[in-house]
């Protein structure tokens, strides 16, 4: 049965873009019916081809730009392979910051019903390129050759790429070099479809302040062919390497890392500094990818916490204790909780490394450990949360509402779940005072924000 919508599949039409979606596509309205077109920018007029029409929306492909936005920057075809994951590559930086500020404001209003919360302009970077301290590139095979780079958007095809414009040069060099060594040694790339082959991903992480490099080879089985030659060549050609780790991921999954790691050479960790605090980081631990902006983000979180030295603080989702140790310098006591055991090992090591004695860490789910603490009489004056993209577990929010810390500081990498969780806290007696977006991920649609929340 054929349906009639305001646009028809395969039709060519002229549209004007009014907005951008959360994944950076242009939004045009045809008789009120939204059509999403990757590459379109607000204010632009374009000819598009409709490639899909459903009940609620259509999807189009940009055919010809008829009027351009002054925010548009050109990207040549030859350069395109350097822009893996850069969904906003066609928007000048000023436009990207405006887009992220609007996105936070819109989502807080739409999902959080928080229309009048103060949202500050995004804190951006002076040079919004070459910032990532980590890359994990998928490895595959094309025409009998090992390739590595990034997945083509919405596909499982790997674009072979040796450089990314948002990665630190040392990270690019590490990936390129390890890839070249693997090609020379005839290492077999993993095949997603047949679940055969060896090397699945190459990961590199770089401590920008210390110049220390970690290389992680992720394979399907515990067998790493040519192990000794591989290690020898990496050490020889990448003098900054301090740690080479083998991670085994034998599952059929999109998740990059498996649970098992073995140190092949050097240390289990690399070190880095954020401000004056030194951190040990192991392969499985989360560590912010934009070191310059991390300082900006943590300083804002610290400012919102407003500590004067007498407070007890709980840092939920604490990772390797980065925010906890920042806070510990200004608080009486900090409790950190985190689900990855290796990260808590790092956190404890980091407290010792910095001679911080008033921070204590526990392994577990925040939504299990914090209620347990609460039942044992441990409460907080300030509660910090920094959850993954899916936001806070409802059980945790419920405990916060019962525990009633005077202040909650919410660091979020997903404005939609931030808005959802702020609504729950507001309904539980809290008030959101202000939200500060920080651009941790220039050129991409990812958006980070810190919110300051107090008892109403």
Active site residues: 413
Q: Are 108 and 451 in contact (CB under 8 A)?
A: no
Instruction: Consult the annotation and say whether 394 binds a ligand.
Output: no
Binds ligand SAH by CB under 6 A, chosen from 20, 114, 302, 366:
366
In the DSSP assignment, the letter for residue 72 is B
Where does this chain touch ligand SAH (CB under 6 A) — which range of 64-72, 239-247, 333-341, 426-434? 333-341
**273 part of the interface to ligand SAH, by CB under 6 A:** no
User: By C-beta, is 20 or 325 nearer to ligand SAH?
Assistant: 325
Q: E strand or H helix at 151, and its extent?
A: strand 145-151
Task: Provide the minimum distance between the beta carbon of 310 and ligand SAH in the complex, in angstroms, as a whole number.
Answer: 23
CA distances from 198 to 148, 205, 260, 337 (A): 13, 21, 15, 35
Fill in the per-residue mask, 341 to 360: x = in contact with ligand SAH (CB under 6 A), - = not in contact. --x-----------------
Strand partners, 34: 29
User: By C-beta, is 99 or 317 nearer to ligand SAH?
Assistant: 317
**207 part of the interface to ligand SAH, by CB under 6 A:** no
CA 183/CA 180 separation, integer angstroms: 5
**319 part of the interface to ligand SAH, by CB under 6 A:** yes
Indicate the SS3 state at residue 38.
Answer: coil
Strand partners, 266: 243
Binds ligand SAH by CB under 6 A, chosen from 44, 173, 268, 338:
338
Instruction: Consult the annotation and say whether 99 binds a ligand.
Output: no
CA 93/CA 71 separation, integer angstroms: 8
What are residue 97's phi and psi, to 5 degrees?
-65, -40
CA 377/CA 288 separation, integer angstroms: 32
**318 part of the interface to ligand SAH, by CB under 6 A:** yes
Residues 367-426 binding ligand SAH (CB under 6 A) are 367, 386-388, 393
Task: Provide the minimum distance between the beta carbon of 384 and ligand SAH in the complex, in angstroms, as a whole number.
Answer: 8
- Give residue 335's Cα distance to chain centre: 24
Indicate the SS3 state at residue 79.
Answer: coil
Binds ligand SAH by CB under 6 A, chosen from 185, 286, 360, 395:
286
**339 part of the interface to ligand SAH, by CB under 6 A:** yes
Instruction: Tell me how long the chain is.
Output: 456
Q: Residues forming the annotated binding site for S-adenosyl-L-methionine?
A: 288, 317, 338, 386
Instruction: List residues near ligand SAH by CB under 6 A.
Output: 286-288, 317-319, 322-323, 337-340, 343, 365-367, 386-388, 393
């Amino acid at each position: 049965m054929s349906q009639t919508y305001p646009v028809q599949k395969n039709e060519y039409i002229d549209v004007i873009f009014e907005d951008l979606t959360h994944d950076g596509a242009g939004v045009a309205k045809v008789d009120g019916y939204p059509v999403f077109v990757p590459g379109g920018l607000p204010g632009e007029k374009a000819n598009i081809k409709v490639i899909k029409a459903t009940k609620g929306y259509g999807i189009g492909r940009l055919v010809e730009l008829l009027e351009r936005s002054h925010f548009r920057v050109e990207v040549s075809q030859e350069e395109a392979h350097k822009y893996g994951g850069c969904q906003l590559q066609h928007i000048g930086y000023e436009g990207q910051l405006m887009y992220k500020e609007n996105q936070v404001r819109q989502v807080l209003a739409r999902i959080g019903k928080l229309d009048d919360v103060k949202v500050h302009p995004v804190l951006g970077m002076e040079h919004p390129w070459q910032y990532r301290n980590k890359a994990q590139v998928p490895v595959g095979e094309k025409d009998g050759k090992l390739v590595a780079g990034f997945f083509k958007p919405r596909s499982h095809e790997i674009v072979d790429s040796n450089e990314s414009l948002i990665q630190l040069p040392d990270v690019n060099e590490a990936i390129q070099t390890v890839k070249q060594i693997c090609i020379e040694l005839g290492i077999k790339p993993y095949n997603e479809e047949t679940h055969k082959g060896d090397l699945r991903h190459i990961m590199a992480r770089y401590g920008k302040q210390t110049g220390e490099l970690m290389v992680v080879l992720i394979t399907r089985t515990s067998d790493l062919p040519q192990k000794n030659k591989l290690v020898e060549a990496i050490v020889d050609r990448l003098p900054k390497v301090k740690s080479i780790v083998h991670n085994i991921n034998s599952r059929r999954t999109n998740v990059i890392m498996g649970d098992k790691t073995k140190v092949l050479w050097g240390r289990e960790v690399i070190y880095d500094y954020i401000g004056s605090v030194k951190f040990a980081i192991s392969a499985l631990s989360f560590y912010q990818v934009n070191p310059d902006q991390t300082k900006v983000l943590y300083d804002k979180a610290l400012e919102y916490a407003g500590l004067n030295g007498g407070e007890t603080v709980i840092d939920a989702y604490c990772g390797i204790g980065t925010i906890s140790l920042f806070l510990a310098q200004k608080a009486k006591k900090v409790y950190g909780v985190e689900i990855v055991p290796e990260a808590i090992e790092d956190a404890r090591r980091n407290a010792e490394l910095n001679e911080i004695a008033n921070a204590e860490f526990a392994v577990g789910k925040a939504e299990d450990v914090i209620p347990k603490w609460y039942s044992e009489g441990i409460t907080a004056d300030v509660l910090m949360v920094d959850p993954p993209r899916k936001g806070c577990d409802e059980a945790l929010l419920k405990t916060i509402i019962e525990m009633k810390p005077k202040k909650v500081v919410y660091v979020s990498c997903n404005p939609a779940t931030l808005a959802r969780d702020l609504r729950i806290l507001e309904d539980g007696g809290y008030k959101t005072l202000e939200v500060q977006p920080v651009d941790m991920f220039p050129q991409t649609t990812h958006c980070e924000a810190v919110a300051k929340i107090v008892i109403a």
